[in-house]
Amino acid sequence: MALKNEENLGEMKAEEKTSWVLNDFGIGRPLGKGRFGNVYLCRENASHFIVALKVLFKKELIRLNVAHQLRREVEIQYHLRHPNILRLYGYFHDIDKGNCGNEETAKYIYQLSSALEHCHERLVIHRDVKPENVLIDKKGNLKLSDFGWAVQHDGQSKRGTVCGTLDYLPPEMIAHKPHTYKVDNWAVGILMYECLMGKPPFEVQGQKDTIEKIRKCNFHLPADLDVRAQDLLKKLIELMPERRAELKDVMKHEWIIANYMPPPLLPFPNKAQ
């Protein structure tokens, strides 16, 4: 759902644009988040118009049976024209249940593992890795965002706060047990599964059933999935945190190597120089 900046209304005629797709926009920084979705600062590629793009989680709308409420909101706001009412210029939906190929997924998992390894080396646990917090820049490279649930640790003690999104919560958080940086490693495996399969591994209708599947680490790997990908998924989506794969090993895994060749890592500019 696209909400436009009101400063230059004359520069873009929304009526001439009947529909949009996500590729029509350059996605910028997050502006806010709510129960049903996030809002991002964006630019429409054709007009260079700055917009606020509200991204809604369809699964949550369906689960809570509020799709009709969204429909009513759109119908009402779309026809309102007033200088003190934020104007709704349009809306669209993405492709349902899409997935990524091996090469694209391997690239994202390598880059995410590299980003999280950097965090862990500096004693930072992200604790909220999920698709909404993984952005892709115009060159197709992954950017990890939203450190609102991140925490610094001393490398020895464990944390006790339960945080994150249910589909990405590891068994130790579900069981309200103390956790370590291995919660991020688990989330890497969940994201890899969702990229390849188009849905999280523990997704079912009821929240209680989802929790039970996570608690038992009960998920399905299709027989036609690359056996090397299956191996990596099993090492990441592992019930026992201490047995989960280290991220440095993920980046060297045979499935990653077979599908992605990372460029040389250039040193990050030092402002002090």
Is residue 228 part of an annotated ligand binding site?
no
128 as an active site residue: the answer is yes
Is residue 132 part of an annotated ligand binding site?
yes
Strand partners, 38: 33, 55
Tokens describing residue 61: 């709308």
Query: Contact 81/168 with Cβ under 8 angstroms?
Result: no
Residue spans of beta strands (DSSP E) within 57-105: 88-90
Q: What's at 206, amino acid-wise? A: G
Query: Contact 119/98 with Cβ under 8 angstroms?
Result: no
Select from 176, 152, 148, 151 the least CA-distant residue to 162.
176
Is residue 54 part of an annotated ligand binding site?
yes
Strands 124-125 and 151-152, by their bridges, are antiparallel
Rounded CA separation 190/29 (Å): 24
> Of 96, 128, 224, 249, which one is the catalytic site residue?
128
Select from 59, 5, 9 the least CA-distant residue to 28.
5
Residue with tokens 């390849």: 196
Residue spans of beta strands (DSSP E) within the chain: 2-4, 25-33, 37-44, 50-56, 88-90, 124-125, 134-136, 142-144, 151-152
Is residue 58 part of an annotated ligand binding site?
no
Q: What's at 237, amino acid-wise? A: I
Q: Which helix (H) or strand (E) holds 71?
A: helix 67-78
Is residue 35 part of an annotated ligand binding site?
yes
Binding-site residue numbers for ATP are 35, 54, 132-133, 146
Residues annotated as catalytic are 128
Binding-site residue numbers are 35, 54, 132-133, 146
